[in-house]
Amino acid sequence: MRLIFVGPPGAGKGTQAKVVCVKAGIVQISTGDMLRAAKVAGKLPADLVTKMAAGSLVPDDVVISLIDERTKAPDCANGFLLDGFPRTAPQAEALGKLLAARGQALDVVLALEVPADLLIERAVLRRTDKRTGQIYHLKYSPPPPGADLEHRADDLEEVVRKRVETYEAMTAELLPYYEGLGILKRVNGVGSVEEVTGRILAALGEYLAR
Ligand code: ADP
Ligand code: AMP
């Protein structure tokens, strides 16, 4: 199964992707995680560090080449879930071309829908365990004692607002594009993590059963 999760920042893509990937036996590929790992390793150019901290997108060619390389790896043979890519029309076109060149296609694009007021609270109170990558929320999924927590530089309220605006301006336009291809499924992302997981698994049912 080749799957994309599209949704605004804080919608719950990363949280749900981890569950779906275990169920489906596929790998999660998050361009945001890859860029943050490059930053920690000191390999992300300074101008991109600045862009990310400000809530701006990094250039298309940077993320397209990350995805091109990563999806060639042997662990992607059974499928993958892209979380946070594509985010622009050129990224979506490049993805379509690179898959077509390998005789592959996308199965489903799942849009996780959450209203803007909830997104701010979800992202601002998000904390991630540096060692395990586990995603917590100070109110809704409190971290256990001893977790080595990180607060993302771009999860400050003003930056989250800008990222939501960028999503609406650049990424939301991908939904009609994938709708036109007949592979878009919209899922309501409001409710508990378990409720949303249930909706996603129901929406993906026919693919999970294959
Ligand atoms: P995204 O990857 O879309 O940016 P995350 O999966 O990191 O979003 O979730 C953002 C924050 O919201 C995290 O702190 C996460 O624990 C929390 N969260 C995710 N899903 C829910 C939910 N259904 N209800 C409440 N909080 C949630
Ligand atoms: P995320 O973890 O998906 O919220 O992404 C965090 C940040 O990484 C974004 O605000 C962008 O700066 C950058 N980023 C991640 N994925 C992309 C992408 N597909 N296109 C451009 N920038 C990206």
Is residue 127 in a domain?
Answer: no
Per-residue pLDDT reduced to its tens digit, 167-186: 999 999 999 999 999 999 99
Q: Which ligand is nearest to the CA of 67?
A: 2
Q: Is 163 known to be catalytic?
A: yes
Residue 21 domain boundaries: 2-114+171-208
* Token pair 């892209």: residue: 82
Is residue 11 in a domain?
Answer: yes
Q: Are strands 108-113 and 184-188 parallel, antiparallel or unpaired?
A: parallel
Q: Which ligand is nearest to the CA of 121?
A: 1
pLDDT of residue 159: 97
pLDDT of residue 206: 82
Is residue 132 in a domain?
Answer: no
Is residue 150 in a domain?
Answer: no
CA 167 / ligand 1 centre spacing (Å): 16
pLDDT of residue 55: 96
Is residue 195 in a domain?
Answer: yes
Per-residue pLDDT reduced to its tens digit, 84-100: 999 999 999 999 999 99
Closest C-alpha to ligand 2, atom 14: 32
Per-residue pLDDT reduced to its tens digit, 134-164: 999 999 999 999 999 999 999 999 999 999 9
pLDDT of residue 207: 85
Which CATH number does the domain housing residue 85 bear?
A: 3.40.50.300
Q: Is the CB of 14 under 6 A from ligand 2?
A: no
CA 209 / ligand 2 centre spacing (Å): 31
pLDDT of residue 209: 74
Q: Which ligand is nearest to the CA of 199?
A: 1
Q: Is 122 known to be catalytic?
A: no
pLDDT of residue 189: 98
Determine the average pLDDT of the residues in 29-56. 97
> Which tokens go with 102?
């390998």
Determine the average pLDDT of the residues in 33-40. 96
Residue 208 has pLDDT above 90, yes or no: no
Considering 36, 51, 87, 199, which one is annotated as catalytic?
A: 87
Determine the average pLDDT of the residues in 41-53. 97
Contacts of 29 (CB under 8 A, 6+ apart): 67, 70, 71, 76, 80, 81, 82, 83, 85
Per-residue pLDDT reduced to its tens digit, 100-133: 999 999 999 999 999 999 999 999 999 999 999 9
pLDDT of residue 77: 94
pTM of the model: 0.96
Q: Is 186 known to be catalytic?
A: no
How many domains does the chain fold into?
1
Residue 33 has pLDDT above 80, yes or no: yes
Is residue 85 in a domain?
Answer: yes
Mutate to test the pocket of ligand 1, among 4, 15, 149, 195 (most ligand atoms within 8 A of CB): 15
Closest CA to 11 of 125, 143, 119, 162: 119
Closest C-alpha to ligand 1, atom 19: 12
Residue 197 has pLDDT above 80, yes or no: yes
Per-residue pLDDT reduced to its tens digit, 49-71: 999 999 999 999 999 999 999 99
DSSP helix/strand/coil, 76: helix
